[in-house]
A and B are shown apart, each in its own frame.
Chain A
């Protein structure tokens, strides 16, 4: 029973007192916090026996031991301490609060909660301390740099944007989803949309990395699993009320494009005119010379954010509850964007007196309203605000726009498309609203009944409901309405409304068995059934033509009846329905011998609605083993208090083969026909999708070997993992002959692998009663290799900047390689396929550059410092060996844009007969068309970033007693404070290979307070 006893302790945080009697001496001591406060009620256990005691109100304990025994001290919220008994009869123990960078004591997945000691798989955990109070709208962005092997690249500064790419241990698929599975309180999430979730409600996040941990998720676990657990109340506890509030200011980060001022532009035009006889640019007039507009300041501002969370937690004997109410308001740095969010969460847990029946309910309702821009990354000069902010000419005056659609049309006519761009965008800002309201409800109930000492039957059932209402309105007096008006149009203004509902029902039923023999052999096993059914519905309506008398912004009032002019004013609409489902049964089993050796095995059968016949079912499995070396007798005198060797191997599957989420890519195994208006306003019938009856799961097999260690009572601690992950049956766009009626068909073909090393290490440089200084570092190296692709030549290039080939990395940049400016004529030169030099490269001359936009090395490091209640946290993240194409820079340096948009001063160094050693080609060079898409604009985007810095003070309890508070903490923090990178743009971090006109992520300075009553 011994091992089961401790297992129960750590599992349930329920503390039994079980006192045993033995021989030899009596050991006594005091258990204190690191600040010297005594800890009453801590369990003091004699390792290897079932004897133990607990500390009294003063933190004192006494226990009969013999020299050489080890005692283990356990207290909730603190790190378990194991110490060897020496000659002395007194042994005082200092306990340190659990800290987010240390190894956690338990690991949670949807199906099992396991003591850290018994975990045989590669799992990283992050707790609320890291997540709470950060000025990020999305919890995922907070995880960056915290978990080795987890690469997070945020592609948009829109508050709460889901444009964040999360990749665990390298790209696992080419066309399929590469995102991990997210599970919140046992409910698998429909997507990585986190804007509606309040990060302050999250208790812990477990990142499951190797197959041993993920195979149990079978159909969706192939890219790793991120398990999010929300806060809950505990039984028999007094009401605790807590408030966390932050407020901050965000601003745009700096760039290194070296853009021209009006004076510089004028100077450049005068210089360039002689060298560039193009029908292009005009000289500035005196009025223009007097203007010097920073268009970035016109479109961006310092954005205020605030966030408030109030939580109530209380527990009676058989009932515990946790309730949280949150409100946040994040302004975006782009004027007109932002996110408002309201959350309510309530968790209730109950049990009967015998503890045999447990049940719980989580209810989570989130409502958010996002005001968004919707054209980032496009080249639409009348839609994409970032083009106006970044590219607009400095000698144009924003005040020329008079706030009417007509004035924007006039300015467009005066300055043309490129010059008129900022005015069109200012007009859009005035006349266009685009917002998304999201209601997200996660409801999850669970019930667990102990049939006997060995058997437990349980069910949890959850619903993930999400509705999105997207609303856009264009004012009747908008440039885009007036300029694009058609003949006979009398009424203007547009409104569109899209409504989408997703409901995912998820149910898991399990029977679990657990038994221990001779206090040495522990077996746990479980059999599970999982059922997922999901429904999607959408409808939309578009309407043009509103009577200005009755106009209201966003109100869609003043509809002009289509009878007036059917072609112009009739609304259009659409509706859609899709269904999806998955069904699985699976088993897990674990065996432990004396807490020294452990073996886990899982096997899972999955059926997906995406596949047919023989391919519908997939079988996934894993085995994992561990050796807790620290529990071996020969380790008793070593400095290691933790030393564990882990190994696992398994196969999991990816059914999201087209990265379309739960609903897309349905019935691709069959020929599909459609009907639609095809020609001359007549309806046609046609084949709309070619079949692939052989369609099947992507299979990812992964081997992992890891070592967890803790030395000198965990003063130095960490883990190392080595893995090899291979994806087979890769779902690729297989090129097919045009006679098939399509250029490509998606098919399972090819394989690739990711190999890597992850390191996580933390050390307490100072650890005493008053001061603690912890340094921590994590890093990951990942090498991706394409093994087999559907092409005889061993490579595939579908056009564009990247391609893949056997033996090299995915997303490898493949383009003409710039070899310098020809000093004789100022043309650009490129490497030929034979290694020579050419001014006119063809496709055949494209070069494999052995570079990609996916970092080879990435991770984070930082420090935690605490001294008498003061604390300082600094977190750096880095990504190395990342290359991206700087399309922004192209626009700032291409000759065709002279006189069209702002330019970089770098461009002054262009070739002329007198400047043969130039960076840029001759302005009138004949082959600049080749520069676009060549390595000339490739840029090293490696970066080191001070991701997070926090300074604060934790008030001592005695200092705040007079306010009737039990806790008070104030802090100041900064996100993205500084970045070191060769990348010129506003944001070195991106999830794209090519960046152009995107919403950069901001830097944020904020202040926070936590109050506990």
Chain B
């Protein structure tokens, strides 16, 4: 029996000695927030992460497929057609709403965590650190305002109804209480929340890009949020706020009285030649530039980037999707002397040369071509993102806010208040016609500073006509920059637009030729994942 007792004793020893089998900390895993965010520099790294979460590629790709920006390319084997992107199929389960909703709320989740940690650190921080932490805090509020502005723009059915449903107001720390279900706030509540975050930014001394350029938030970025948000609201009051912000953009105050370096330079639109450079790898980073998402030679794989939405491996080759013929025709009109001709870089309006790739093969008689011939002989490649980031042929920086965008937002205000035409002159933004004149004059490739547009639209006879001109101008200016979908939602009805209209040649096989501006599909559905998870969520009309 001794042996038995010995065995039992041995077993008992093993029992207690074996906890190393289940008490295992994986090497390098950190689970405490305070152990990760220790210093203001760590907080900076936390904020930088947020920029990587913005789903801008999705927005641009979705917009190009879902509107009249694209046509089916020569090398298309069903890409974008079979999945319904091109045929105006938009449902709660579609990828884009999920990516946008999840991307921005995921960003705010992290921003709120960082806010919480900053407030914690501020309690014990040194004065030097406090200054840095407050700067980070302003940055956090600025990005949070931006996220809510983006969510607001895609998921609010009616911008102009203050009591209508908008998105979730996400102003609290959310860590692991997965049963915290939040309902949608109203338009008014979301607008007030964005404004209060922006006020916090101002109270904290503002936010600056710290010399890193337009790939980071700055005060012009903040003013752009105010301008774009108020353009959507379409009230006298909101348009007043829009103009205030525009004026601050033009005459920026010093943002930090304690920091003599921190003075913003007013933005200005670029001429046609300079415009091209802002889409290259090392853009001219001033003037037009307000905010973009930087893409670098180490992002993604060899074939990745926004260009992959349309091209197979290189810009101007093997395209699954080409420029829609109806968009091309708008660009074509910009230089009446060349209208209807084949591709040539002597076109005087910079936007034609920027948007249409040099490899394009334009068939002037495309409309009378048979389907096969049209496919093979009318090749309209997208040239906007030349993809010259080293080692990443399709990668490009993605613009979010450009000065021209703000100027055209001011034009919307001018249209709203009835200042449709009048004194038309350089640097005169008092009426719609003059604003468009200023833009077109600067886009004149031959004579950028001569104050002479290549051509000007003529009809500014009514508010509707003025809105229509703004919508047209935006179409050619911001093609493939992810604006067209929301522009149509905001302006389509006021401009009397027929909506998205594709050339008949581009919808022969799909039957998807147009989408009315009053369609419910101009508001994104609340993604299915949210509908399933959140019992308090209400779906948008029509889905």
Contact = CB atoms under 8 A, between A and B. Distances in A.
A686 B46 contact: yes
A958 to B, nearest CB: 54
A43 to B, nearest CB: 33
A734 B178 contact: yes
A583 B110 contact: no
B371 A278 contact: yes
Interface in B51-110: 51-52, 72, 74-78, 81-84, 87, 89, 91-93, 98, 101-102, 105-106, 108-110
Contacts of B8: 511
A487 interface: yes
Of A670, A677, A734, A896, the most chain B CB neighbours within 10 A belong to: A896
A818 to B, nearest CB: 16
A513 to B, nearest CB: 9
A365 to B, nearest CB: 27
B371 A484 contact: no
B180 interface: yes
B48 A679 contact: yes
Contact of A567 (B98, B297, B372): B297
B313 A484 contact: yes
B4 A581 contact: no
A678 B11 contact: no
Contacts of A691: 31, 175-176
A743 B95 CA distance: 12
Nearest to B48: A684
Contacts of A796: 532
Given A511-B11, A932-B83, A894 B78 contact: yes
Given A276-B509, A609-B24, A529 B75 contact: no
Contact of A738 (B298, B393, B529): B529
Contact of B20 (A279, A452, A533, A894): A533
Contacts of A582: 21-22
A798 interface: yes
Of A412, A798, A929, the most chain B CB neighbours within 10 A belong to: A929
A736 interface: yes
A609 B93 contact: no
Contact of B49 (A280, A578, A678): A678
Contacts of B25: 667
B77 A900 contact: yes
Given A672-B31, A685-B49, A792-B535, A740 B109 contact: yes
Contact of B392 (A486, A579, A791, A843): A486
B543 interface: yes
Nearest to B46: A685
Nearest to A735: B533
B500 interface: no
Contacts of A580: 24
Contact of B176 (A509, A527, A693): A693
A863 to B, nearest CB: 48
Given A279-B508, A568-B391, A679-B51, A451 B14 contact: no
B533 A737 contact: yes
Given A685-B42, A743-B98, A531 B21 contact: yes
Contacts of B33: 671, 673
Contacts of A923: 509
B493 interface: no
Interface string B511-543: 110000000000000011110111101000001
B368 to A, nearest CB: 13
B48 A670 contact: no
Contacts of A583: 18-19, 21-22
A687 B110 contact: yes
Contacts of A487: 388, 390, 393
B390 A488 contact: yes
B312 interface: yes
B303 interface: yes
B181 A737 contact: yes
A671 B31 contact: yes
A799 B528 contact: yes
B110 A585 contact: no
A509 B49 contact: no
Contact of A280 (B52, B182, B320, B371): B371
A589 interface: no
Interface in A743-798: 743-745, 747, 791-792, 796-798
A742 interface: yes
B128 interface: no
B106 A741 contact: yes
B167 to A, nearest CB: 10
A269 B202 CA distance: 66
A577 interface: yes
A737 B75 CA distance: 39
B328 interface: no
Interface in B1-40: 3-4, 7-8, 10-11, 14-15, 18-27, 29-31, 33, 35-37
B296 interface: yes
Contact of A685 (B36, B393, B527): B36
B105 A929 contact: no
Contacts of B91: 842-843
Nearest to A513: B4
A418 B52 contact: no
B511 A926 contact: yes
Interface string A894-937: 11110011000000000000000000000111111110100000
A672 B30 contact: yes
A278 B297 CA distance: 38
A607 interface: yes
B170 interface: yes
B77 A897 contact: yes
B168 interface: yes
A416 interface: yes
A797 to B, nearest CB: 7
Of B3, B302, B509, the most chain A CB neighbours within 10 A belong to: B509
Interface in A577-604: 577-583, 585
Nearest to B107: A741
Interface in A295-353: none
B187 to A, nearest CB: 19
A457 interface: yes
A408 to B, nearest CB: 13
B509 A277 contact: yes
A279 B11 contact: no
A527 B22 contact: no
B4 A455 contact: yes
B45 A685 contact: yes
Contacts of A88: none
A834 interface: no
A637 interface: no
Interface string A452-490: 100101000000000000000000000000011011100
Of A484, A583, A791, A798, the most chain B CB neighbours within 10 A belong to: A583
B421 interface: no
A931 to B, nearest CB: 9
Contact of A609 (B22, B83, B108): B22
Contacts of A690: 176
A279 B372 contact: yes
Contacts of A925: 511
A799 B93 contact: yes
A982 interface: no
B313 to A, nearest CB: 6
A282 interface: yes
Of A455, A692, A799, the most chain B CB neighbours within 10 A belong to: A799
14 contacts: A280-B371, A457-B3, A527-B11, A567-B390, A673-B31, A678-B48, A680-B48, A693-B176, A738-B529, A739-B182, A742-B106, A797-B528, A896-B81, A929-B81
> Would you list the 8 A-B pairs with minimal beta carbon distance, nearest first?
A279-B375, A926-B511, A684-B49, A581-B21, A278-B509, A741-B109, A735-B533, A738-B105
Given A738-B102, A843-B91, 11 more contacts: A509-B11, A529-B14, A672-B31, A673-B35, A737-B105, A740-B174, A743-B98, A747-B178, A843-B93, A894-B82, A929-B83
